[in-house]
Amino acid sequence: MPLNTPSRVSEENHLHELQAVISGGAMLRAGRMLDALQAAEVAHLLESLPLAQRELLWALVKERGDKGEVLLQVTDEVRDGLISDMEPAQLLAATKGLATDDLADLVKDLPLAITQEVLGSLDHQNRDRLERVLFYPEDSAGGLMNVDTVTVRAEVTLYVVIRYLRQLRERMPADTDSLFVVNRAGDYLGVITLAALLTHDPDDSVAEVMSLDRRPIQADWSSREVANRFEKHDLVSAPVVDDQGHLLGRITVDDVVDVIREEGEHQFMGQAGLSEDEDMFAPVLVSARRRALWLGVNLMTAFLASWVISQFEATLSQVVALAVLMPIVASMGGVAGTQTLTLAIRGIALGQLSYSNARWLLLKELAVAAINSVIWAAVVALAAGLWFQSADIAMLIAVALSINLMFAALAGAVLPLALDRIGIDPALAGGVLLTTVTDVVGFLAFLGLASWFLF
Amino acid sequence: MPLNTPSRVSEENHLHELQAVISGGAMLRAGRMLDALQAAEVAHLLESLPLAQRELLWALVKERGDKGEVLLQVTDEVRDGLISDMEPAQLLAATKGLATDDLADLVKDLPLAITQEVLGSLDHQNRDRLERVLFYPEDSAGGLMNVDTVTVRAEVTLYVVIRYLRQLRERMPADTDSLFVVNRAGDYLGVITLAALLTHDPDDSVAEVMSLDRRPIQADWSSREVANRFEKHDLVSAPVVDDQGHLLGRITVDDVVDVIREEGEHQFMGQAGLSEDEDMFAPVLVSARRRALWLGVNLMTAFLASWVISQFEATLSQVVALAVLMPIVASMGGVAGTQTLTLAIRGIALGQLSYSNARWLLLKELAVAAINSVIWAAVVALAAGLWFQSADIAMLIAVALSINLMFAALAGAVLPLALDRIGIDPALAGGVLLTTVTDVVGFLAFLGLASWFLF
């Protein structure tokens, strides 16, 4: 039997068991079980618990030395809740021993008085480092970077570098796969991997062994640009420089993984008007207020659609079949338009769709819509015609559906780019606007044509 | 001026310029510009181009030595298109020099004859390795792993390990941040980082320096479980073992980044019935056929809703205001339910929602729905009552809206877990089913109550 067997099943069971123990209120036993968990697992468990149990568990976790790590691993919203439960002294203790980039993330969520105390408790060098990270927005390369990098000079030998690393040993930052080479002024020159250090002649100079092809990231890049760079080049870490080429720090892949996860959740949850930080067990009143906003926006668009319908009350009261069939026209337009919208939003996020190739997407989507118009207009016309025994209704719904599908493709392709250009996030506003268009056009086309032709 | 300046802006401009050059047909110039791009950038550009231009560019790229890398970087669907454009000899050439995990990804998309030729062209050791990866499904730990790992024995000294690495030098696999320690039988024992190798006394034994806390991943884990493990523990690489604890290979973070990206896109695009591999510029007929399927599913649910409405034709023909207002009830239910559904789907994907805590989510969502029912029922009742000057209609729409919001919360919380349990992907089917429920319940409640009370 090998020493380490895979522990997935036992890990999941452990979480479920602990959840049951906490729900049952056996806190002493829960405390003992907790000791076996790492910070990330505790964070995961906290997020999975409803508020009452979360508070109970947090009371136990607050005593742990790695509570700062736990705070970093939960989402922003859960973190805010946990922090509001802590004494200033505990908060201060939680910030101890964290890397600068992590400390910067945490400090932003702390009350101002605590932040100042944290800054005061750091030595000059670390305070300087922290302030450098805090200077940049959280979602920029500067906000993601860690400033405790190991740098070496190009003219020294590998032997000197290795001796230096031996002195550092325990203080070498985690995830160090490579060292950065700088000149006297602190400008970034290149990178030397630990693998290269190990496998080359110790008498070689850094300049001979270092690699020049790891291009630096500028501190003002957005986190999305950073993530794209990491993905494209399969990076583990990358140097960050200011606009003078001066080395500021490094970004490691673990933070990029979080960026990519959050970007995916942002697109997915934004479509429902939710934030990617949304806590599954947020307090009911907090959730209700946030949801209310989204429902209110939707209500306005729903009333707009109703107003369009009301313009044709006379027609509707004479041909009630129109009321029965009108949701089909609106709904098919919404579904088709959402498909185009989704493709376009992803294209923009990946940097693959811009004004330079939008024309091609629009033409392709219009062609797809034209084909599906023909198919589904025929199917719907046949079904509706047979149902209501009316060739007029069959013809009407076929034409209205085709019009709406074409408008849906147009809106789905154009809206995201237009929103993006004026600085509105298409992942958030795109869906509402699109279905407003497809509802209004759908009802207008179907009922408008009916009023015109049937009377 | 430092050697390496950040090149984001020039990189983006370069892509746009190249796009323009290709669109303009100046292929010689495009070829020269192409030489400056890395494989990942070429892949990005290929994905951004409509089919005709993509073919032109691919004709140039096919001549490059790194065409295999390019093929790996594009999405499955784009890759299929590019491969269909290649001669067998070119395909064989593209597989040269790829790592086993990458080769496995590519081989799955190749015609069978080529696959056999690829296998035949490998030496015994590499064929054995490739077959080991191909044995596991693509979305499992075994399918993600790379089998060319560097292993060492626990009893040797660091000095011996370093001498061994010096011999390997150029043949050391990319992204090697650590070596795996195995016993004579090949069982995984632990890990030794390059940093530890560099900073400890060369006379120490591997056993003294190795770390035991990097638990191995079992080859049959799903890629989602692998991604969660990497995220939780901020890993750069991890060992993969079989159920006997025997070391099979390692997974590196660059492949996990792709998994996380794809999982996010799957959730986002699945909601619109699209695959995460969907090519923005897929051929029109291919797109139209796939979209048609989704539209057809939606059409059936739309007809179901219409059928519900048709049960109340008599009522509708007498009170046409009901036809005007009924989309509001259905639409508000759909929006509210989608919010709950989205939270639940994310919770399941992150492993934070299961049957053990679903009850809490359901109770919380019902409470949120109750609050929003009260608020929006009042607003809608007031607006509709004033609009149609009818207290009856105000009362009716208020009650119907409340009923639908409560059903929406119930369906939004229960559907994803139920679908997950019976093996249907909630990210794909959840939205359609949910809006079917909210449409049917919305129309039924509003028109049903109206028929009952108004007549």
Per cent of chain A over pLDDT 90 is 48
pLDDT in tens, B252-286: 998 899 999 888 899 899 988 898 888 988 999 99
> What's the mean pLDDT in A167-178?
80
Please tell me the distance from the alpha carbon of residue A344 to that of residue A226, in angstroms, as a whole number. 21
pLDDT for A6 equals 40
pLDDT value of residue B394: 96
Task: List the one residue out of B397, B319, B314 whose CA is nearest residue A313.
Answer: B319
Is B260's CB within 8 Å of A260's CB? yes
- The pair of structure tokens assigned to A301 is 């668009």
| pLDDT at residue A33 is higher than 80 | yes
Judge: A195–B195 Cβ closer than 8 Å, yes or no: no
User: What average pLDDT score do residues B287-293 get?
Assistant: 91
| Domain finish residue from A112, A144, A176 | A144
Regarding whether A299 and A233 lie in a shared domain, the answer is no
- Pairwise CB contact (< 8 Å): A291 & B347: no
User: Quick one: A289 and A241 in the same domain?
Assistant: no
Q: Which residues of B touch A149 (CB under 8 A)?
A: none
Q: Residues B219-263: pLDDT tens digits?
A: 999 998 999 889 888 888 899 999 999 999 999 998 899 999 888
Q: Does the pLDDT at position B8 exceed 80?
A: no
Q: What is the reported pLDDT for A15? A: 66
Q: Would B264 be classed as within a structural domain? A: no
> Would you state the pLDDT for residue B455?
73
Complex ipTM, two decimals? 0.87
Total count of domains within chain A: 3
Q: What is the pLDDT of residue A127?
A: 84
**8 Å CB contact between B297 and A336:** no
* Among chain A residues, CA nearest to B44: A352
Tokens of B308: 């519900």
Cβ within 8 Å, pair B360-A268: no
pLDDT over 60 at B10, yes or no = no
Q: Which two tokens stand for residue B6?
A: 């950040």
Place A172 in a pLDDT band, splitting at 50, 70 and 90.
confident
Mean pLDDT (whole number) for A129-157: 88
What is the pLDDT at residue A11?
56
Q: Do A234 and B254 touch (CB under 8 A)?
A: yes
Q: Quick check: is A1 in a domain? A: no
Is there a domain that residue A264 lies in? no
Q: What is the CATH number of the domain that holds A352?
A: 1.10.357.20
Q: Does some domain include residue B273? A: no
Last residue of a domain, which of A128, A144, A160? A144
Query: Percentage of chain B with pLDDT > 90?
Result: 49
Across A65-74, B93-102, B309-318, B417-426, least confident range: B93-102
Instruction: Check whether residue B351 and residue B387 sit in a common domain.
Output: yes
Q: Which of A40, A313, A353 sits opposite B232 (nearest CB)?
A: A40
Neighbours of B119 (CB within 10 A): 15
Is B439 exposed, middle or buried, given 0-12, 13-18 or 19+ CB atoms closer than 10 A? buried
The CA distance from A350 to A345, in Å, is 9
pLDDT of residue A158: 94
Chain A CB contacts of B257 below 8 Å: 230-231, 234, 253, 256-257, 260
Nearest to A217 among B6, B165, B278 (CB): B6
Of B30 and A324, which is predicted with more confidence? A324
B16, B264, B284 ranked by CB distance to A268: nearest: B264
Together in a domain, B163 and B126: no
Domain check: are A186 and A109 in the same one? Answer: no
Give the pLDDT band of residue B209 (cuts 50, 70, 90).
very high
Find the Cα–Cα–Cα–Cα dihedral A445, A449, A452, A453, rounded to 10°.
180
Distance from CA of B104 to the nearest CA of A (A): 18
Q: Is residue B92 within 8 Å of B117, Cβ to Cβ? A: yes
* pLDDT at residue A2 in the model: 39
Residue B275 lies in a domain: no
Question: Strand pairing partners for B343?
Answer: none
Distance from CA of A40 to the nearest CA of B (A): 5
Interchain proximity A264–B260, CB inside 8 Å: yes
Least confident of A74-78, A181-185, A377-381, B319-323: A74-78
CATH number at residue A159: 3.10.580.10
Give the gap in angstroms from C-alpha A113 to the nearest C-alpha of chain B: 31
pLDDT tens digit string along B356-375? 888 999 999 999 999 999 99
Angle between helix axes A39-48 and A8-24 (nearest 10 degrees) is 50
Same domain, B197 and B338: no
Q: What is the DSSP string of B119-144?
A: HHHS-HHHHHHHHHHHTS-TTBHHHH
| Domain that includes residue B116, residue range | 8-140
Question: How far away is chain A from the Cα of B93, in angstroms, using its nearest Cα?
Answer: 22
Is the same domain home to A314 and A407?
A: yes
For residue A151, the cross-strand partners are A180
pLDDT in tens, A426-444: 998 899 999 999 999 999 9
Which of A235, A245, A328 lies at the smallest CB-CB distance from B306?
Answer: A328
Report the pLDDT averaged over residues A35-53. 86
Which domain-ending residue is among B79, B106, B140? B140
Residues of B in contact with A332 (CB under 8 A): 295, 298-299, 302
Q: Express as a percent the part of chain B with pLDDT over 70.
A: 97
The verdict on B349 and B426 lying in the same domain is: yes
Same domain for A292 and A418, yes or no, is yes
Contact A295 B49 (CB under 8 A): no
* B-chain residues near A364 (CB < 8 A): 50, 281, 284, 287
| List of residues 6+ apart from B8 with CB closer than 8 A | A218, A221, A225
Read off the pTM.
0.87
Q: How confident is the model at residue B409 (pLDDT cuts 50, 70, 90)?
A: very high
B175, B218, B342 member nearest A268 (Cβ): B342
Set of chain B residues whose Cβ sits within 8 Å of the Cβ of A357: 19, 48-50
Say whether pLDDT at B15 is over 80.
no
A221 and A312 in a single domain? The answer is no
Q: Do residue A316 and residue B320 have CB atoms under 8 angstroms apart? A: yes
Query: Of A209-213, A299-303, A380-384, B155-159, which gets the smallest average pLDDT?
Result: A209-213
Dump pLDDT digits (tens) for A193-217.
Answer: 998 998 899 999 999 999 988 889 9
Write down the residue that tokens 């279905």 correspond to.
A435
DSSP lists the bridge partners of residue B113 as none
* pLDDT tops 80 at residue B2: no
E-strand spans in B118-246? Answer: 151-153, 178-182, 188-193, 217-218, 237-241
Residue with tokens 């679903």: B358
Label residue B5 by pLDDT band (50, 70, 90).
Answer: very low
For the segment B187-191, the average pLDDT, to the nearest whole number, is 94
Average pLDDT over residues A257-270: 90
**Domain check: are B178 and B312 in the same one?**
no
Give domain status of residue B99, yes or no.
yes
Chain B nearest CA to A85, separation (Å): 21
Give the pLDDT of residue A393.
94
More confident residue, B342 or A99: B342
Paired sense of beta strands A237-241 and A247-252, if any: antiparallel
Confirm if A160 and A145 have CB atoms less than 8 A apart: no
Which whole number is the average pLDDT over B416-442? 93
pLDDT exceeds cutoff 80 at B127: yes
Question: Residue A102 is part of a domain; what is its CATH number?
Answer: 1.25.60.10
Residues A380 and A314 in one domain: yes
pLDDT, residue A35, reads 82
pLDDT band at A8 (very low <50, low <70, confident <90, very high): very low
Most confident residue range from A10-24, A270-284, A360-374, B122-136: A360-374
Q: What's the pLDDT at B13?
A: 65
Residue A101 included in any domain: yes
Nearest CA in chain B to A323: B323
B25-39 pLDDT tens trace: 777 888 888 888 888
pLDDT, residue A13, reads 65
Min Cα–Cα distance to chain B from A209, Å: 12
Do B194 and A198 count as a contact with CB atoms less than 8 A apart? Answer: yes
Out of A8, A233, A327, whose CB is closest to B302? Answer: A327
Mean pLDDT of the region B119-147: 85
Residue B266 lies in a domain: no
pLDDT over 50 (residue B207): yes
* Residue A308 CB neighbour total at 10 angstroms: 20
